[in-house]
Structure 1
Amino acid sequence: MKTRYSFGGDEHIFVEIDEEMSLEAFFKSLSMSKAVREATIAGVTEICPANASFQVRFDPDVIAPEALLTRLKSFEAVAETAEKTIDTRIIEVPVFYNDPWTHETLMRFRERHQDPDATDLEYAARINDYPSVETFIEAHSGAPWFVSMVGFVAGLPFTYQLVERSRQIEVPKYLRPRTDTPRLTVGYGGCFGCIYSVRGAGGYQMFGITPMPIYDPKAEQSYLKDLFLFRPGDIIRFKPIDREAYDAAIADVEAGRYEPKIASVHFSLDAFNADPEGFNAKLLEALDG
């Protein structure tokens, strides 16, 4: 991987680890951004991590741009040899696939879609060579997902499925973005999944909806004291549910008694690469144990 450094105006340096997403690039970016944070460099005011990159904001009156660039490059060699491990959490997210709300929305925007005659799930299944929507949903929910970034809108997680690259689902975004997406839609664009934390515009394919809030500015849910549920490095298991289970979960949310299943886990990239299916099984056991 060839790291690229570039200036963004007078107050930012953008550090791009790789042009494409990979867990290797994520861990290198994580290690470097952590090193920058721990170094407490005078003049650095903000560090913003992304999928395979990060951006540093600084005060040029405190530290010269070239001086900061030299400091940032000094962290790269250490990041190359750092252990690619993280103590994190696995979180179960129930999903009502093929739900009526995202279906109604996607039907309003078919003229913006690659295949106006198919639903988003049907299109995604076909171009990924799955024989049916049901088998596609099994693949989508059958392996856990790694949260590589949180942002764009408040609390929205970008997720990357923990499978071999040959098994990665790839689905393009809409030809033109929608002006509406239901809150808590489970979407997909390129190689990334996401959960729309709020209602609004969007261009990702819509596969379903979760009843579980992931962003709570009113602090009404006990498990959302920090406002946002997800942070980079979290792992998600999508659990398919039916309408009855969805309605029951919504009732619990409205009563303030909903509690997601969350377990502490240790993630090792080397162990995952050595045996993806076996490692994933151990991750999922942490939720079921």
Structure 2
Amino acid sequence: MKTRYSYGGDEHIYVEVDEEMSLDAFFISLSMSKAVREANIPGVTEICPANASFEVRFDPDVIAPETMMAKIKELEHKAEQAEKRLSTRIIEIPVYYQDPWTHETLMRFRERHQDPSGSDLDYAARINGYDSVAAFIEAHHSQPWFVSMVGFVAGLPFLYQLVEREKQLQVPKYLRPRTDTPRHTVGYGGCFSCIYSVRGAGGYQMFGITPMPIFDPEQKVSYLEDFMVFFKPGDIVKWKPIDRAEYDRITAAVEQGTYAPRIAEVDFDLDAFNADMTGFNAKLMEALNDA
């Protein structure tokens, strides 16, 4: 393992499983953070998982930082037998690609972009070797995505595409961040797609927008009544392209409290996925279609 441990001030320990994101690193991180939680170490106040790492917050008046570090390191051996199966859910997320709202925004910030002459999708398609924006959009939505982390902004999911590494889309962030991004923008930075849960600053390329709220602190959205954040690590997402009419229909249904996301319960098996990614993804999407 390539695990690296470091302190974050007096109250945090950061554990990095690998410098690069992979599902193997995610599952090891998940296993280690679970082991820390089950160890019930005195003084631990919070455990925050990330893409291929996790952070432990603790009370230094209860446990010394070096003692906390030693106890976490003692649990590393448990990660070697990391659980590679996960009971989770696959969710269909509607996306209005090339919508007018993100397009207006990206055009306002062209001077901060690598290629001011076109749109974010024009640039993404070109640098990934696609002949057209339509072909790039097809690559973006045709295979499912794995939610490896939720956070940075409340409720924002980081999504990692379930394809061979050589087929993964990659797009750099803006040269300088924008001061505005519409709520529910479907963005892309590095190898991660995301959904902006709130309006605000951002640097990811903007591809479209979803009419489906994923964060509601007031919990007025029907499917967020139990918890204000929709996503959790381990969720699987299948993007569904929609047009303006469908966008408006879903928006109205959300406001009326009648919209329900399409969801299917599934089991994710890392070994089975690595053995046959195309076949495994097909079964995931078949489960969603049957829901």
TM superposition score normalised by structure 2: 0.98
2:238, 2:74 → 1: CA distance? 37
2:187, 2:40 → 1: CA distance? 37
1:124, 1:228 → 2: CA distance? 29
Shift of 1:76: 1.3
1:228 aligns with 2:229: yes
After TM superposition, the structure 1 = structure 2 runs for residues 120-131 of structure 1, keeping only pairs within 5 Å, are: 120-131=120-131
Q: Which digits, 9 at most, give the CA deviation of each residue in 1:138-190, with x for residues without a partner? A: 10001100001000111000110000000010000000000000000000000
Q: Which amino acid aligns with 1:190?
A: G
2:168, 2:76 → 1: CA distance? 28
2:154, 2:108 → 1: CA distance? 25
Aligned length: 289
1:253, 1:83 → 2: CA distance? 37
Indicate the residue corresponding to 2:273 in structure 1.
Answer: 272
Q: Secondary structure at the match of 2:80?
A: helix
1:103 aligns with 2:103: yes
1:243, 1:75 → 2: CA distance? 51
1:246, 1:9 → 2: CA distance? 45
1:231, 1:5 → 2: CA distance? 25
Shift of 1:82: 2.1
Moved over 2 A (4+): none
1:91 aligns with 2:91: yes
Indicate the residue corresponding to 1:258 in structure 2.
Answer: 259
Q: Which amino acid aligns with 2:60?
A: P
Shift of 1:112: 0.3
Indicate the residue corresponding to 1:118 in structure 2.
Answer: 118
Indicate the residue corresponding to 1:171 in structure 2.
Answer: 171
Between the aligned residues of both structures, percent identity stands at 74
Deviation larger for 124-133 or 212-221: 212-221
Deviation larger for 201-210 or 82-91: 82-91
Shift of 1:107: 0.4
Shift of 1:50: 0.8
Q: Which amino acid aligns with 2:270?
A: L
Indicate the residue corresponding to 1:244 in structure 2.
Answer: 245
Shift of 1:8: 1.2
Q: Secondary structure at the match of 1:42?
A: coil
Deviation larger for 203-212 or 9-18: 9-18
Indicate the residue corresponding to 1:149 in structure 2.
Answer: 149
1:56, 1:175 → 2: CA distance? 32
1:78, 1:35 → 2: CA distance? 7
Q: Which digits, 9 at most, give the CA deviation of each residue in 1:93-115, with x for residues without a partner? A: 00000000000000000000000
Q: Which amino acid aligns with 2:286?
A: E
Indicate the residue corresponding to 1:197 in structure 2.
Answer: 197
Q: Which amino acid aligns with 2:252?
A: A
1:201, 1:260 → 2: CA distance? 27
Q: Secondary structure at the match of 1:246?
A: helix
Q: Secondary structure at the match of 2:153?
A: coil
1:42, 1:145 → 2: CA distance? 36
1:40, 1:231 → 2: CA distance? 22
Shift of 1:39: 1.4
2:222, 2:255 → 1: CA distance? 12
1:27, 1:174 → 2: CA distance? 30
Q: Secondary structure at the match of 1:81?
A: coil
Shift of 1:83: 2.4
RMSD of Structure 2 on Structure 1 (CA): 0.8
Indicate the residue corresponding to 1:59 in structure 2.
Answer: 59
Deviation larger for 177-186 or 215-224: 215-224
Q: Secondary structure at the match of 2:30?
A: helix
Gaps of 5+ in 1: none
Q: Which amino acid aligns with 2:139?
A: A
After TM superposition, the structure 1 = structure 2 runs for residues 21-100 of structure 1, keeping only pairs within 5 Å, are: 21-100=21-100
Gaps of 5+ in 2: none
2:82, 2:191 → 1: CA distance? 26
Q: Which digits, 9 at most, give the CA deviation of each residue in 1:239-287, with x for residues without a partner? A: 0011111111111011111100011110011110000000001111111
